[in-house]
Amino acid sequence: MKIGFLLVVFLAFFGIMPAQELPRRAVLGFDVASLNSDSEKSAETGVVVKSLVSPTEAGGIHVGDVVSAVAGQQVSRPEEVLAILRKVRPGEQVSIELRRNGHPLEVQVSAQPAPYESSPNVDVLYRAVEANGSLRRVIVTKPKANGVFPAILLVGGLGCYSVDGLTDKDVPYGQIVYTLTREGYVVMRVEKTGEGDSQGPPCSAPESDLKIEAAGYAAGLKALRAYDFVDRDRIFILAHSIGPLVAVLVAQQGGVRGMIAAETIGRAWFDYQIEIARQQPLDIGEAYDVIERQARRNEVCLHYFYVEKETPESLLKRDAGCRDILVPGVPYTYLQQVADLDLAAQWRKLDMPVLVIYGTSDGATSADESHYLVSMINSFHPGRATYVEIPGMAHILNTSPSRGQFLRDHGGPHPQLHPAILPTLENWLRKQVAVGKG
């Protein structure tokens, strides 16, 4: 998540396109991760092979190999590998330069089309929508039975990542998607620009701003309303983290019965950034005098970045310490537009039931932010917003003993879904679906 500029979200130029018009992305048979700076490899550059997705297609690459170049281009971050693969077609041979136990090697790997998701319990449909002149991949899961079903548009959190390749035993999004589908809901995911099979500019590029992201979800919502297996009067949005700030814009095109806003904020992004910069160091035990010195510096950096609209390059020339306020891999244009959002004005336009969820171990936001959002919505539309607090749930809807522990664990092993989140979602959705029936 993160006044002078009035954000206008252009939701034109989107429509529904057949899935076959969007080709499958290429993969190399292995996954990579950033090098651990604390490890013995800390002096090396490149990315480390963390798993073999398809050992027979990995070209003899081993887990633990350090990849330094792909297709002749040096790499130091996983997203750089993905950017290179966007230009590779399935079937092409790709040279991989790597080091194994300190020894340089070069191997040739055959790029393959990414496997499609499948499940014995639900139908998985790969389709495409058009947004801002390029095709976006949408992945739809639906119950196996014939009929018309309520539907959910999933709007994810901050950053550039793919929502393709999930399973019902996967990280929280996968478990939520497949469980809700088995419970009788159609669920749609929309790939961000340049992610997965989606065309358009790379997600991390400056042109990939908030307007571009909102247009993709708006196109997905329009497609949901057109599917013959969707009850168009019972479409919901499930938005997580920064997702509600995008979803509040998308829902204004109409056709949304209600929204779930999980682990999010209610105040302006600028105010949130100042507050969280103080709170997070406290959660992990930093000294107050250290926190206050850094907070004062952050306030100046935030002003120049969000109010004066300085680019990251200009900001870092002013003060290299301002690097702490930037979000790696997220376009600065996106963050500055989020900061320009008048959230109160946007939420006032929506008169619908809203469930606001906060987990007490979430160190990325606060109960105060969620209470503020609920009070804001109810001030405009009395009784429409409901607050639910889940003890021990952290920001990625996972289990954690405390806010501080969540912050210390961030980036660690795949989190386990908190056991209370699915019943919370299902109970609220069931009540909303039942309204007006019978």
Tens digits of per-residue pLDDT, 41-57?
A: 456 789 999 888 765 55
pLDDT of residue 54: 64
Is the pLDDT reported for residue 58 higher than 70? no
- What residues contact 102, with CB distance under 8 A and at least 6 apart? none
- At 352 the pLDDT is 97
The confidence band for 226, taking pLDDT boundaries of 50, 70 and 90, is very high
Lowest mean pLDDT among 19-23, 161-165, 259-263, 388-392: 19-23
Predicted local distance difference test score (pLDDT) of residue 411: 52
| Averaged pLDDT score across all residues of the chain | 89
Distance in angstroms (rounded) separating the CA atoms of residues 345 and 323: 31
Helix axes 288-302, 269-283, angle to 10 degrees: 160
**CA–CA dist 143, 362 (Å, integer):** 32
- Rounded to two decimals, the pTM is 0.88
**Secondary structure of 319-373 in the HEC alphabet?**
CHHHHHHCCCCCCHHHHHHHHHCCHHHHHHCCCCCEEEEEECCCCCCCHHHHHHH
Contact 216, 193 (CB under 8 A): yes
In this prediction, residue 50 carries a pLDDT of 86
Cα distance between residue 373 and residue 366, in whole Å: 11
What is d(CA 290, CA 122) in angstroms, rounded to the nearest whole number? Answer: 52
Residues 6+ apart with CB under 8 A from 11: 214, 215, 218, 250, 253
> What does the block give as tokens for 311?
């680019």
Residue-level pLDDT at 414: 60
Q: With contact defined as beta carbons under 8 Å apart, do 247 and 239 qualify?
A: yes
Q: What is the mean pLDDT of residues 328-346?
A: 95
